[in-house]
Structure formats: C-alpha cells, structure tokens
Amino acid sequence: MKSYPDYFKRHIISLDGIWEFDWLGDELDWKTLSSSGLAFRELMPVPGVFDLNLERPGHHGVGIYRKKIRLIGRSERLKLKINGMGLLGKIWFDGKFIAEYDLPYSGMEYELPVTERNDEHELIIAIDNRFNFDPALLFQPGYDFYGFGGIYRSVELHQLPPCSIDRVKVTPLDITQGTVRLDIKLDGKVPVECVYSLGFDGGATRQFTAAPVDGHIILEAIVPDFKIWSPETPHLHTVEVDIGEDAVCERFGMRTVRAENGKIMLNGSPLRLCGFNRHESHPQFGPAQPLQLMVEDLQWLKKMNCNFIRCVHYPQDQRFLDLCDQFGFLVWEESLGWGNKEAQLINPEFIAKQETETARMVHNSCNHPSIIIWGFLNEAESNLEAARPLFQRLTSLLRETDGSRLVSFASCRGITDCCLDFVDVISMNLYPGWFGNSNSNRLPKTCIAPDIKQLAQFACRADLRDKPMIISEIGICAFYGCHDLVGSQWTEEFQRDYMAEAVRAVFAEERICGLALWQMFDARSYGSEGPDIRGKPRGYNCAGVLDEYRRPKLSAAAVGDLFGKLLK
C-alpha cells in the first residue's frame, strides 16, 4: 500500500528491501563518523530495526546501512524521502554528506546532488540508537516507550523536474456547499507564472494560470458531487493538480471540526470519543509496522466499539493514517515528547527541534480527515511558569499552519497545570490507585470516580468551562493469562474491573466528552537497567487490554461492551 500523496508522473524508486549493513558498536564517536573506510558484512531489511534483530537484540550503538541505486534516465533534481527512523541519523550520497537526522519518527525530505553518472549511485545511512541525556535531544532516556534503532518506514528516491509540486493542502471551508481551499506548494525553480490543471475524483479538469507567491498558489474550489466524511460514512475525495512535468493526487475528506460550549463538534454535531492510546510497537517489528498488523489493529478497535485513537507519542506512519481515514476513526496525532522537564523546555535547541518536528507533522498529515486534534509534549512540566513560552509557541504554530483542527496536549499536572489557557481541548492523564496519585493508599476502584470528578470540577472554572475536556490516559496493568479469583493486582480480573469502572466514571461526568484508555496493547518500554525497572516487568508497559501479540485480556470485552452502549 502506497500512502498519499501520489505523485503519479514521477520516476519514484522504492528503496525498501534488503540493504547492506554493518554494526559499528557502542564506542564510536558519533560526531566524527564519516562514510569512508566502511565495511558492510551483513544484510538488514528496510523498513526494520536492528535492535530486534536476532544478532543483537536490545543492543545500543551505531548501525550503518548501504544501498546501491540505479536511476531511470536523466534527472534534473533528486529528492530523498525518509518516512521515519531513529534515534539519530546521518546521510551520505555518493560520498557527500547530505544531512543529520535528529527528529525521530519524522518524515523528512532531502535534496541530493545530481551528476551525469549513469552507473550505480551509493546511499549510506548511519543510525545511532544510544540513549543520551543531552537536553537538546527529542528522545530522552526514561521515556516510557522504547527508542528503537533503525529505519522504521519506507524510503524513496524521487527524480524531479526543475519545478515540482511539494503538496496540495486541502482545507474544507463550507461542507454545505462543498467549498475547499487549495494551497498548492511548489518546489525547486518556481516560475513567475504557472499554468496548471485541476480536477476532482478523476473527473474533468480545468486549466488555470497563476502567479505563485512565495512558492504557493492558493485558491478556492467547489468539489463536485461531494459527500460528507464521518465515522459512520467515511467518504473520501481526491484532487489532482498537474503542472506539466509534475503532478500529484491528494486524498481528503469533507468535514469540519470545532470546539463549542465545552463540546467537540464534528460537522456541527457533538462527539463522544471512546477509544484507546496506540503505540507503533510489536515484539518482532517494533515501529516497522506491516500493513496486516495495521489493519488488524483497526479491526480490533472496531470490535471493541471504538471511534477514537490517540496516536502516541510521535508522528505516525502515513499508511496507518490513510487506513484511519478509510475505516472512519477519529484521531489525535502528536509530535515527539514524554515527561519533558524544565531543562528541556527552556533549551533553545530542544525548542527549535520541537517546532520543526511539529511543523513537519502538520505538513505530512495535513489532508487526513481522521485527524481532529493536534497534540505535543505529553506529560511535560506544564505546571511550571517556565513552560509557558514553548507551549504558547507550539499552539500558535499549529494554528498558523492548520487552523482547521483542535489543539491540545496531554497533561498529568491536574489542577496545577498553568498552560491550559493556550489549548482548545483540556486533556488529562491520571492513574488513580495505580501510581503518581496522592490517594494511592485507597483501593483503585474506589478512588477513580472521586479523582475524575475533581478534575471535571476544576475544568468548570470560568476561564476553562467552554473548552471541551477529555481524559487522554487512564488505565492499569495486567499480565496476559494471569488470573485470580480474588482479583489481585496484575491479574486480568483486576484490570477488567478497573477499566470498566474508569469508563463508567468518566462518562458519568457531563463535563467530559471523551476518553482514550491507556492503552490498546502492551508495548515495549525500558527494561534492563535503571532505578525504575521494577515498574516495567518484562520490559513492557503492560496496561494493554490486548497483550503485545494482540491476544485479548478480559478487559477488552468489558470495555467493548461499555463503549458499544455509549455510542448507540
């Protein structure tokens, strides 16, 4: 499955498959690494991660990949598209250093030098998955999800004309009339005047002439015979733009999202969000997700009567978001962050990287109708005054680049949070009776409702009461196959009762309009060293209602039954 946008006129060389590989170990100085004098003695799949490979499971260090490429004819320009890798990367093409990659999971693009050579070209990518406490880095040791090493998603080489189309961003304006705004972003040598054709859904095209402004052509158009996108009827449309030497087909949906009187409104009607948090994780594949796994995950969510997915805690695979569009799920996508402390939130390099990754997320995901909320900086220290400048910058950036969706961040700071004035949606993470809660001496089931009620009352404050409120995380851990008549902690019975009570308590509060349980399935976390390893048995966050192989625990059926009744 190839994700949108579809550049149907281009020569695009897929670089997925087997690459040459070598392991350089964990003593190497990353800053001085070059592409010369390397030996490639192994093979490695792309997409894939080397720290789940049989040769070095869980190893941290530098792995280096090489691919030989033969171009198709002559190229005016070359662009390398990497849809996600991590944790750090360096890229060389024909021996020339191209770029350093420091935005884990982000889809990035790089112009490559063009030569007259018709023989093989050489692409080398080095990956460093060592943990580093440098506050400028986006991925920090101790994040509650594992930092895999490898090339997570597809890699492509695009052969381009002098002027090409980067994206066509489609923003629905009036879903009663079918009006959309099109932002055609050109790349390369942009002409003073551009002749282009435009058509919808494979139908008739019309030709236009426009003078690009800063590389953009912006216009309004009416989608013929349009249909509304919703979870119940996920109708999708396409738009094709052709500038002669290059063309693109973008897919989109006609729908609107806004916040009104404490509710999230989709197409003018209030939503009740029922769903889960989902990582890109699997014991064998890590974040290199095969399509079958993506589809089966969405089938599981349908089976559990969900309509909402919070995609955590990094930009997502575009193929998964395409599937969410088709299945009719409502999605929260967020840029990379987890529990970030003040030292990071005020670090100029960290701030710049957060802005870049957040902007790239919007650029890559702008046309997915399934996405209704943009997020960032999960569980950061948003209770500190020092956090406010970065939170304000990121919310402003999201509204400037895409004002058609809502903005939020998941807070674990409760009533002490001081950044909620910036967002459209108040989102709270809490784990009453499990950890990080002052009432942890109480039985979990008896403290869930009081703690949720306290947050709901807090959100009724005059300056917050018009903002929708959702519980973005709540849950508890259980081992698959662990049973106990008494329902002791870590058993499936214990989790089933807790999750069911959480669903009931959340939706007993009229102030709350949505819930994302933590989490859909067990996912790898830190596990072999450090002071907190006892909190992660097996090296996994075991709060999934499915285990890491997607085998259901008792809570899956219990939650599914409750969601089914709530969404009738």
Which helix (DSSP H) or strand (DSSP E) does residue 180 occupy?
A: strand 179-188
Nearest to 143 by CA among 426, 532, 478, 434: 532
In the chain, the amino acid numbered 191 is P
Q: Beta partners for 92?
A: 97, 124
Nearest to 515 by CA among 429, 387, 443: 429
Q: Which tokens is 57 given? A: 């499971």
Q: For strands 469-473 and 523-524, give the pairing.
A: unpaired
- The confidence score (pLDDT) of residue 355 equals 98
Size of the chain in residues? 568
Q: For strands 406-407 and 371-375, give the pairing.
A: parallel
Q: Which tokens is 321 given? A: 């978001």
- The confidence score (pLDDT) of residue 72 equals 85
Q: Is the preceding peptide bond at 279 cis, omega within 30 degrees of 0?
A: no
Q: For 469-487, what is each residue's pLDDT tens digit?
A: 999 999 999 999 999 998 8
- The confidence score (pLDDT) of residue 529 equals 60
CA dihedral 382, 388, 394, 400 (to 10 degrees): 140
Q: For 169-210, what is each residue's pLDDT tens digit?
A: 999 999 999 999 999 999 999 999 999 999 999 999 999 999
Residue tagged 């040459």 (tokens): 20
Count CB atoms within 10 A of the CB of residue 465.
13
CATH for the stretch 11-159: 2.60.120.260
Nearest to 552 by CA among 203, 299, 189: 299
Q: Which tokens is 544 given? A: 């999934």
Q: Which CATH superfamily is domain 258-566 in?
A: Glycosidases (3.20.20.80)
Residue 40: partners with Cβ closer than 8 Å, 6 or more residues away:
20, 21, 22, 64, 66
Nearest to 361 by CA among 400, 317, 326, 324: 317
Q: For strands 96-101 and 88-93, give the pairing.
A: antiparallel
The verdict on pTM exceeding 0.85 is yes
- The confidence score (pLDDT) of residue 438 equals 46
Q: Is the preceding peptide bond at 552 cis, omega within 30 degrees of 0?
A: no
Q: Which tokens is 62 given? A: 């530098």
Q: Beta partners for 514?
A: 273, 470
Q: How far apart are CA 110 and CA 138, in angstroms?
A: 20
Residue 353: partners with Cβ closer than 8 Å, 6 or more residues away:
102, 103, 136, 137, 138
Q: Which CATH superfamily is domain 163-255 in?
A: Immunoglobulins (2.60.40.10)
Can 11-159 and 163-255 be said to share one CATH topology?
A: no
Q: pLDDT of the chain along its 568 residues, tens only?
A: 678 999 999 999 999 999 999 999 999 999 999 999 899 999 999 999 999 999 999 999 999 999 999 998 888 999 999 999 999 999 999 999 999 999 999 999 999 999 776 678 999 999 999 988 899 999 998 899 999 999 999 999 999 999 999 999 999 999 999 999 999 999 999 999 999 999 999 999 999 999 999 999 999 999 999 999 999 999 999 999 999 999 999 999 999 999 999 999 999 999 999 999 999 999 999 999 999 999 999 999 999 999 999 999 999 999 999 999 999 999 999 999 999 999 999 999 999 999 999 999 999 999 999 999 999 999 999 999 999 999 999 999 999 999 999 999 999 999 999 999 999 999 999 999 887 544 445 667 788 999 999 999 999 999 999 999 999 999 999 999 999 998 899 999 999 999 999 999 999 999 999 999 999 999 999 765 655 555 688 889 999 999 999 999 999 999 999 999 999 8
Do the Cβ atoms of 323 and 236 come closer than 8 Å?
no
Question: Where are the chain's structural domains?
Answer: 11-159, 163-255, 258-566
Residue 95: partners with Cβ closer than 8 Å, 6 or more residues away:
35, 36, 122
Q: How far apart are CA 505 and CA 522, in angstroms?
A: 23
Residue tagged 């884990």 (tokens): 104
In the chain, the amino acid numbered 25 is G
